[in-house]
Amino acid sequence: MAHWIDSDAKLIGMLDDLGSATLLAVDTEFIRTNTFHPKIALIQISNGSDCWLIDVLGIENFEGLKALLECPDKQLIFHACAEDLEVLEYALDITPTTIFDTQIAAGIANIGYSMGYARLVKEVFDVELDKEETRSDWLVRPLTARQLEYAAADVFYLHKLHELLTASLKEQGREEWFEEESLAVYAMVAGRKNSDDYYRRLKSAWKLDPPALKRLKRLCVWREMTARERNKPRGHIVKDSSLLEIARRQPLALHQLTGIDDLHPGLIKRYGEDLLDQVSAANDDVNVDPLPQPLTKAEVIVLKAMRNALITVAEDTLIPQEFLFSKKDLEFILRGAIAGSEEWPQRFITGWREPLVIPILKNTLSELM
């Protein structure tokens, strides 16, 4: 049964009903189209039998809900929890810590890597869920019957998945693997708040010399702060390509911003002086290291050999290869070897991957380099 919670009084009643529950399934519905920060609209909670749909727009006091979801004695079942954790923290200052993520568990149990909720339910229970409401406007009231049904379905199968996946992880002896990957997700969510290294993600940034990289780094930090303050997507402030060109050109006057792709007169009028200030201030910043150039053809051959060796390991250990390693991991290792040093990603030397990955990669590199 689904209960609609749209007042503080109803929320208090729900909290009383769930006071003794130790396992809760949780999901959120939010909108994030033309804003930097997500706009939360609905929170779904299930105890395995009933479901509560919390109309965030109708609630004023969330302290009781915060206490419920942050209680260390209650385990919360999410599917692909990263965005849910982000929206709960930003919108309601709620930070759950005791979490079972069914997407992570399904990957570790070799059911499938990064599977969506509907696909996982189909794979495990052979049930086809209606996902047409995924992109609907959850901020409009009243919600339609179809939206309510969709929202309830998003938590309906989580308890069953938890039971099945917990048993599977135990049978395969991979509970510690799962715990390690869960901690990595928390770290990833926390890391999204740090924008200092965002400049490294921009395509073609490696082409810039160190002074231009300093300018690009400062410009990216300024844009991040501006996007957060104005609650606009980064690209609505200034696009990546424009920041790259500004960093390269080092403009000193407003007219020198004219002609830069995607930097139309309206943006120059609004942000031009700020952009010039950032370019100027970058002169006093600490130098940044040059970004690595793309791998050569010969190095790509070595990278492919490393990848193929680990694909064999993934197949032998019955785990999705995407969970075992990433291209970024392999590039990091290869670039270290090229520089004459042995460097490993932290997750390769402190957890379950170490005995599976490092010996194979050492052998592959010794044969090819």
pLDDT surpasses 80 at 265: yes
Which residues on adjacent β-strands are paired with residue 211? none
Please check whether residues 55 and 172 belong to one and the same domain: yes
pLDDT surpasses 80 at 137: yes
**What is the structure's pLDDT at 189?**
80
Please check whether residues 121 and 240 belong to one and the same domain: no
- Distance in angstroms (rounded) separating the CA atoms of residues 112 and 124: 11
Within-domain flag for 23:
yes
- Distance in angstroms (rounded) separating the CA atoms of residues 164 and 279: 55
Please state the rounded mean pLDDT for residues 312-337: 94
**What is the structure's pLDDT at 190?**
78
Please check whether residues 234 and 186 belong to one and the same domain: no
Q: What is the pLDDT of residues 215-237, one digit of tens each?
A: 999 999 999 999 999 999 999 99
**What is the structure's pLDDT at 80?**
96
Please state the rounded mean pLDDT for residues 184-211: 87
Please check whether residues 20 and 81 belong to one and the same domain: yes
Please check whether residues 182 and 205 belong to one and the same domain: no
**What is the structure's pLDDT at 64?**
98
pLDDT surpasses 80 at 134: no
- Distance in angstroms (rounded) separating the CA atoms of residues 134 and 150: 8
What is the number of H-type helices and E-type strands within the chain?
17, 6
- Distance in angstroms (rounded) separating the CA atoms of residues 368 and 225: 45
**What is the structure's pLDDT at 188?**
81
Q: Which pLDDT band holds residue 193 (cuts at 50, 70, 90)?
A: confident
**What is the structure's pLDDT at 130?**
83
Range of the domain at 160: 2-191
**What is the structure's pLDDT at 186?**
84
Which letter, b or e, does each residue of 209-224 get, where b requires 16 or more Cβ atoms within 10 Å of its Cβ? Answer: eeebbbbbbbbbbbbb
CATH number at residue 38: 3.30.420.10
pLDDT surpasses 90 at 310: yes
Q: What is the mean pLDDT of the chain?
A: 94
pLDDT surpasses 80 at 28: yes
Q: What is the pLDDT of residues 33-53, one digit of tens each?
A: 889 999 999 999 999 999 999
pLDDT surpasses 90 at 1: no
Please check whether residues 216 and 146 belong to one and the same domain: no
Q: Which of 284, 312, 332 is the last residue of a domain?
A: 284
pLDDT surpasses 90 at 133: no
Radius of gyration in angstroms for the set of CA atoms belonging to the chain, rounded to a whole number = 24
Q: Which of 284, 315, 348 is the last residue of a domain?
A: 284
Closest CA to 308 of 231, 263, 368: 368
Within-domain flag for 96:
yes
CATH number at residue 235: 1.10.150.80
Q: What is the pLDDT of residues 61-98, one digit of tens each?
A: 999 999 999 999 999 999 999 999 999 999 999 999 89
**Hey, which of 57-66, 182-191, 359-368 has the most confident mean pLDDT?**
57-66
Please state the rounded mean pLDDT for residues 249-256: 96
Percentage of the chain modeled with pLDDT above 70:
100
Contact 81, 54 (CB under 8 A): no
**C-alpha distance across the termini of the chain, in Å:** 63
Please state the rounded mean pLDDT for residues 269-280: 97
**What is the structure's pLDDT at 82?**
93
Within-domain flag for 40:
yes
- Distance in angstroms (rounded) separating the CA atoms of residues 313 and 319: 9
Closest CA to 356 of 299, 302, 316: 316
Q: Which region, left, alpha or beta, applies to residue 48 given φ > 0 means left and ψ of -120 to 50 means alpha?
A: left
pLDDT surpasses 90 at 275: yes
Number of domains into which the chain is organized: 3
Alpha carbon distances (Å) from 344 to 24, 337, 364: 38, 10, 15
pLDDT surpasses 90 at 170: yes
Please check whether residues 37 and 174 belong to one and the same domain: yes
pLDDT surpasses 90 at 192: no
- Distance in angstroms (rounded) separating the CA atoms of residues 64 and 71: 11
Within-domain flag for 290:
no
Read off the tokens for 214: 């300093």
Alpha carbon distances (Å) from 322 to 108, 202, 271: 10, 23, 41
Please check whether residues 334 and 245 belong to one and the same domain: no
Within-domain flag for 329:
yes
Please check whether residues 149 and 121 belong to one and the same domain: yes
Please check whether residues 21 and 152 belong to one and the same domain: yes
Percentage of the chain modeled with pLDDT above 90:
89
- Distance in angstroms (rounded) separating the CA atoms of residues 44 and 282: 46
Q: Which of 125, 156, 191 is the last residue of a domain?
A: 191
- Distance in angstroms (rounded) separating the CA atoms of residues 190 and 186: 6
Please check whether residues 279 and 217 belong to one and the same domain: yes
- Distance in angstroms (rounded) separating the CA atoms of residues 318 and 246: 48
Q: Which pLDDT band holds residue 244 (cuts at 50, 70, 90)?
A: very high
Within-domain flag for 138:
yes
Within-domain flag for 292:
no
**What is the structure's pLDDT at 43?**
98
Within-domain flag for 181:
yes
Please check whether residues 25 and 169 belong to one and the same domain: yes
